[in-house]
Amino acid sequence: MFKIKKNSLNKLYAAIAEAQTLYIPCNVNGKPNFAVWGEGADVDLASLKTVKSAKEVFFPQCEDIVSFKTKGKEITVIDCRKESEDFVVFGVRACDAKSFEILDKVFLSDPVDTFYKTKREHGTVITLACSRPEESCFCSAFGIDCAEPSGDVATYFSGEYLYWSPKTEKGLNLTNSLKNLLEIANDKDNLALENEQKNIREITKKLPLYGLDLSKWGADDLLEKFNSEKWQELSSACLGCGACTFVCPTCQCYDVRDFDKGNGVQRYRCWDSCMYNDFTMMAHGTPRPTQMQRFRQRFMHKLVYFPSNNGGEFSCVGCGRCVEKCPINMNIVKVIKAFGGEGK
């Protein structure tokens, strides 16, 4: 394990950015979000959660796919992908790091999404332990330890230092390129880190959503859940705004659109939401015409359909963003509890 003083972090950012693009939480328009680091960037590693999750570096909100140039009857197809350069994403929390594994199951399964695959191959993930988990967090319900995040490199704040622990070959390669800035940690540092992790876990156990019971969810009783009368009541106040899907680190729905540029067409994809009434609209209409059906689809997918197809793994990481952002305070926690998921 290695360490670096907090007051030297700008040197660390500059060294990484000299060789690769560095994405890091920055205050942009007063809100923390992942952005490209540059001199003078307002880095914010103190805020627990960015507004949008780190998934955007691998699965952008809007992404050009291909262009078509026209000249008379001649059509030229232009591959416009630019994601082949190496990059680093720094400050990823444990919940967001886990979300990458869930997205991998979607985008790296046949047929493989080559846009996503290329970014995953070229991206190095540096995670950051959550020193102060918040009341909206419930990652522990999904077996995530926010005191020991995964990633290519795991980092931790304790005292005046940032501790740095490489976990993969990518992490080791990045660490080796930064050895002139990193000090080797000693036994005292290891003890300090163990105490920090212990404190984080103690805070986690005191959170109001700790012990959220998922035993009533999963692949079993699909029809019983699907046909439950509870969905009507739960969805009655839903606005269908889609805020929950846009802040969610595991939502992967997107739409593909064409934009006429006059002398050609730009095809791109952009995030979409199963909560919208035109989602998956076909010639005959939409397969889920009511808000109740769309509401049910969102939570059945995360808590029943996805685990039934992925060895029991849920499509939620307990980040709590939907808990914080829903304008009518309806979220996945309330759905879980409505079907018997009270705290243990």
d(CA 336, CA 243) in angstroms, rounded, equals 19
DSSP three-state, residue 308:
helix
Instruction: Identify the CA nearest to 124 among candidates 5, 20, 46, 14.
Output: 20
Give me the count of residues in the chain.
344
The pLDDT of residue 284: 67
The pLDDT of residue 294: 92
d(CA 190, CA 12) in angstroms, rounded, equals 21
Stretches in the chain below the pLDDT threshold 70: 83, 282-285, 341-344
Could you tell me the CA-to-CA distances from 238 to 52, 143, 167, 232, 242 in Å, in that order? 21, 29, 42, 10, 10
d(CA 337, CA 204) in angstroms, rounded, equals 19
Could you tell me the CA-to-CA distances from 127 to 17, 146, 211 in Å, in that order? 17, 10, 24
The pLDDT of residue 342: 58
Q: Two tokens at 79?
A: 């591959």
The pLDDT of residue 204: 96
Q: Is the peptide bond before 111 cis (omega within 30 degrees of 0)?
A: yes
Q: Two tokens at 333?
A: 């926690």
d(CA 160, CA 138) in angstroms, rounded, equals 28
In contact, 337 and 237? CB cutoff 8 Å? no
- The amino acid at residue 84 is S
The pLDDT of residue 83: 58
d(CA 267, CA 80) in angstroms, rounded, equals 10
Instruction: Identify the CA nearest to 237 among candidates 109, 118, 102, 329.
Output: 329
In contact, 301 and 314? CB cutoff 8 Å? no
In contact, 250 and 317? CB cutoff 8 Å? yes
Bridge partners (DSSP) listed for residue 69: 76, 264
143-149 LR contacts (CB < 8 Å, sep 24+): 144/94, 144/95, 144/98, 144/317, 144/318, 145/94, 145/201, 146/93, 146/94, 146/95, 146/200, 146/204, 147/196, 147/197, 147/198, 147/200, 147/201, 147/204, 148/94, 148/197, 149/92, 149/93, 149/94, 149/97
d(CA 12, CA 29) in angstroms, rounded, equals 24
Question: DSSP state, 231?
Answer: H
Instruction: Identify the CA nearest to 43 among candidates 59, 22, 15.
Output: 22
d(CA 135, CA 178) in angstroms, rounded, equals 36
The pLDDT of residue 18: 95
